């Protein structure tokens, strides 16, 4: 992997992105390069550069020093680009083939040059269109087990693990998560965004003492439990896929946190799809929800039994204790994600693109209810099948 060095940050343009690609010698001298900026997120530019001769391509992602959704009044650290690139490499060591290859980085320009995934589709966009992605939950279940186990105390010497905790300290982006997922939606905060028709449901959340107490506990877990190197923002918009292939992208929110967080965020985004679908399509999404947990838990349990550093791995009941904690954490984090994606600052197209207002409000109410119940009942829910049953009750 090449490491580019430069002196001063400047935003790339389509023209300068092509110049950079040529400097990196990632294409032949005969290449005829074209570039298009394709980023649709809130924090970055994404340049797709293609050789018109060979049809081969690369992606250059550049972090912006502010959030596009707000503007320059919301400054952001450029260090997140290095964290993203390093996380892709670290996760790629274990989840081979499930993250894009990194070709080059430039810490000063805050760029990561990586594998072109344009032959795949963003999973959120595909699911909204009714795509099924038969390998999605198996691949993501494996990705979660491989990355979360192999970056944890179960797999690493304590010295190595603690050094990685320091290396992947990401306070600025963690603060965004702390505010937008765990705090603002549960108070009358200016960042919240919801339709007036949801006012009663939102105020019920703001005045629900039990719910807020449980969210406070989950936030405390997020703040203090450095269990594994998380992706930190694992939703269906952070995954490319086809029927044969799955790639996880955009780990710029990566840090050492509770294992259940990544699992919970992914499950929550599948739950939104379950709520917005009907009939066989809903059943297929529910199968993805079930399979994600079943694949993760089976593989994580197998890995745990082989742990080099945990002296208690063979104690009867220990693996069940570990997985039970992860499961209940995952449900709680999923609940927080469901609520914030409905009434917080950053919504999801799965819900907001529903044109029929009455239907959209109904489904958003169901999403809020699912979030609330997953948070407050997480210790009473004893299986992933019980989660599906709970969703069925809400959707009636």
Reported as a single tens digit per residue, the pLDDT across 209-231 is 999 999 999 999 999 999 999 99
Q: Are 222 and 230 in contact (CB under 8 A)?
A: no
Q: Enter the tokens of residue 97.
A: 């083939």
Out of 37-51, 276-290, 337-351, 379-393, which region has the weakest mean confidence (pLDDT)?
Answer: 37-51
Q: Is the pLDDT of residue 364 over 90?
A: yes
Task: Give span(s): CATH 3.90.1200.10, the chain.
Answer: 121-395
- Give which of 239, 234, 243 is closest to 265, Cα–Cα: 234
Per DSSP, what are the bridge partners of residue 60? 47, 113
- Residue 207 CB neighbours (<10 A): 9
Taking the C-alpha atoms of residue 177 and residue 188, their distance in angstroms, rounded to an integer, is 17
Q: Give residue 297's pLDDT.
A: 98
Angstrom CA distances, 100 to 17, 27, 84, 91, 169, stand at: 19, 18, 12, 10, 22
Q: Give residue 41's pLDDT.
A: 67
In the chain the first and final C-alpha atoms are separated, in Å, by 53
Signed CA dihedral, 118, 122, 125, 130: sign only: positive
Q: Is the pLDDT of residue 260 over 60?
A: yes
Query: CB within 8 A of 93, min separation 6: which ones?
Result: 150
- Residue 55 CB neighbours (<10 A): 8
Q: Give residue 66's pLDDT.
A: 82
Tell me what percent of the residues of the chain surpass a pLDDT of 70.
96
Query: How sure is the predictor about 76, in pLDDT bands with cuts at 50, 70 and 90?
Result: confident
Q: Are 4 and 26 in contact (CB under 8 A)?
A: no
- Give which of 138, 154, 149 is closest to 293, Cα–Cα: 138
Angstrom CA distances, 293 to 21, 340, 385, stand at: 40, 22, 10
Task: Give span(s): CATH 3.30.200.20, the chain.
Answer: 2-115
Taking the C-alpha atoms of residue 49 and residue 153, their distance in angstroms, rounded to an integer, is 40
CB hemisphere CA count around 227 (13 angstroms): 21
Buried-state track 246-270, b at ≥16 Cβ within 10 A, e below 16: bbbbbbbbbbbbbbbbbbbbbbbbb
Strand, coil or helix: what is 35? strand
Could you confirm whether domain 121-395 is CATH 3.40.50.920? no
Q: What average pLDDT is seen over the chain?
A: 96
Strand, coil or helix: what is 142? helix
Query: How sure is the predictor about 157, in pLDDT bands with cuts at 50, 70 and 90?
Result: very high
Q: Is the pLDDT of residue 105 over 60?
A: yes
Q: Give residue 63's pLDDT.
A: 94
Taking the C-alpha atoms of residue 208 and residue 284, their distance in angstroms, rounded to an integer, is 33
Query: CB within 8 A of 176, min separation 6: which ones?
Result: 253
Q: Give residue 298's pLDDT.
A: 98
Q: Are 243 and 93 in contact (CB under 8 A)?
A: no
- Give which of 12, 61, 70 is closest to 38, Cα–Cα: 61
Per DSSP, what are the bridge partners of residue 102? 114
**Which CATH code for domain 2-115?**
3.30.200.20
Structure pTM?
A: 0.95
CA 271 to chain centre: 14
Rounded mean pLDDT, 370-382: 98
Per DSSP, what are the bridge partners of residue 106? 111
Rounded mean pLDDT, 224-240: 98
Q: Is the pLDDT of residue 290 over 90?
A: yes
Taking the C-alpha atoms of residue 32 and residue 21, their distance in angstroms, rounded to an integer, is 12
Taking the C-alpha atoms of residue 367 and residue 389, their distance in angstroms, rounded to an integer, is 15
């Amino acid at each position: 992997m090449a490491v580019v060095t430069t002196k001063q940050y400047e935003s790339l343009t389509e023209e300068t992105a092509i110049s950079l690609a040529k400097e990196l010698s990632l294409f032949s001298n005969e290449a005829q390069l074209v570039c298009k900026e394709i980023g649709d997120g809130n924090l970055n530019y994404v340049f797709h550069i293609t050789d018109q001769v060979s049809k081969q391509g690369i992606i250059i992602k550049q972090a912006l020093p502010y959030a596009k959704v707000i503007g320059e009044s919301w400054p952001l650290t450029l260090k997140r680009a290095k964290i993203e690139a390093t996380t892709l490499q670290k996760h790629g060591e274990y989840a081979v083939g499930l993250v894009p290859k990194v070709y080059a980085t430039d810490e000063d320009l805050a760029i990561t040059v990586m594998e072109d995934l344009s032959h795949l589709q963003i999973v959120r966009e595909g699911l909204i269109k009714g795509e099924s992605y038969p390998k999605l939950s198996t691949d993501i279940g494996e990705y979660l087990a491989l990355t979360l186990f192999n970056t944890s105390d179960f797999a690493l010497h304590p010295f190595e693990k603690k050094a990685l905790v320091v290396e992947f300290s990401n306070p600025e982006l963690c603060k965004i998560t702390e505010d937008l997922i765990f705090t603002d939606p549960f108070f009358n905060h200016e960042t919240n965004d919801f339709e007036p028709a949801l006012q009663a449901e939102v105020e019920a959340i703001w005045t629900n003492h039990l719910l807020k107490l449980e969210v406070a506990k989950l936030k405390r877990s997020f703040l203090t439990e450095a269990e594994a190197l998380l992706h930190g923002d694992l939703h269906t918009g952070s995954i490319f896929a086809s029927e044969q292939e799955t790639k996880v992208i955009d780990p710029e929110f990566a840090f050492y946190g509770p294992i259940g967080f990544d699992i919970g965020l992914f499950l929550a985004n599948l739950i939104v799809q379950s709520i917005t679908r009907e009939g066989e399509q809903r059943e297929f999404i529910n199968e993805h929800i079930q399979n994600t947990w079943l694949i993760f838990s089976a593989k994580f349990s197998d890995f745990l039994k082989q742990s080099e550093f945990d002296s208690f791995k063979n104690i009867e009941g220990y693996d069940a204790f570990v997985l039970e904690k992860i499961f209940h954490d995952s449900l709680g984090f999923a609940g927080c994600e469901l609520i914030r994606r409905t009434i917080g600052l950053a919504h999801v197209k799965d819900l907001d693109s529903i044109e029929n207002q009455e239907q959209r409000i109904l489904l958003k109410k169901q999403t809020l209810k699912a979030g609330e119940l997953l948070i407050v009942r997480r210790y009473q829910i004893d299986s992933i099948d019980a989660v599906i049953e709970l969703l069925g009750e809400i959707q009636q």
